[in-house]
Structure 1
Amino acid sequence: MESKSAYIIGHITVKDAEKWAEYCRRVPDTVAPWGASLVFRGCNAQVLAGEHRYTDTVVIRFPDRSAVDAWHESAAYRELIPIRQQAADVVIVSYEE
């Protein structure tokens, strides 16, 4: 059975731009060992339906769900969580294809 790609989508509202920049600069090194790649990072242009209170979104592709789980539980990423919490209000959701 072929593994399905998995994605994380982060919905973000930045509270501290300097800390957020540090977090964003450091995250790529934490996802690289898991074969992940940035798909999209951008600011909200327009809400077309419903409510969406976040201003920014990021999408990262992983080879499979186990890679998402391993990355999220990794020491390298766990070290960044306090910076993320100080820098922004964030909701991270994972999806599988």
Structure 2
Amino acid sequence: MSAYWIAHVTVTDAEAYKGYQQRAAAALAQHGATFLARGGEAEVLEGPDLQRHVVIRFASLAAAKACYASEAYQDACRHREGAAIVHLTIVEGLPEP
């Protein structure tokens, strides 16, 4: 069953954030992640106005958790410190019909 990372990001230092993006892309690829939404036009209908929205699909909840815990992704996160405010949730998807 698929699982998803749902991230809401407000970038506070665009130049520093690039270091995270480059490293995170490699870590996500290592875990078979697929971007379903990444930035783009969005409208917040309820809750705080967050700048950037990202949805990433993984083959399983275990894969989503393993990616987050991986050394490669944690290294990417260290390059994001001070460059963004991030809210990240991992959620299990519904069974395929």
TM-score under structure 1 normalisation? 0.86
Aligned: 1:42 with 2:39: yes
Unpaired runs of 5+ residues, structure 1, are none
Instruction: Give 2:30's aligned residue.
Output: 33
Unpaired runs of 5+ residues, structure 2, are none
CA distance in 1, matches of 2:83, 2:75: 14
Provide the aligned C-alpha RMSD in A: 1.4
Aligned: 1:52 with 2:48: yes
Instruction: Give 2:85's aligned residue.
Output: 89
| Equivalent of residue 76 in structure 2, options 64, 76, 80 | 80
Deviation, structure 1 residue 43: 4.5
- Give 1:87's aligned amino acid: A
Deviation, structure 1 residue 53: 2.9
TM-score under structure 2 normalisation? 0.86
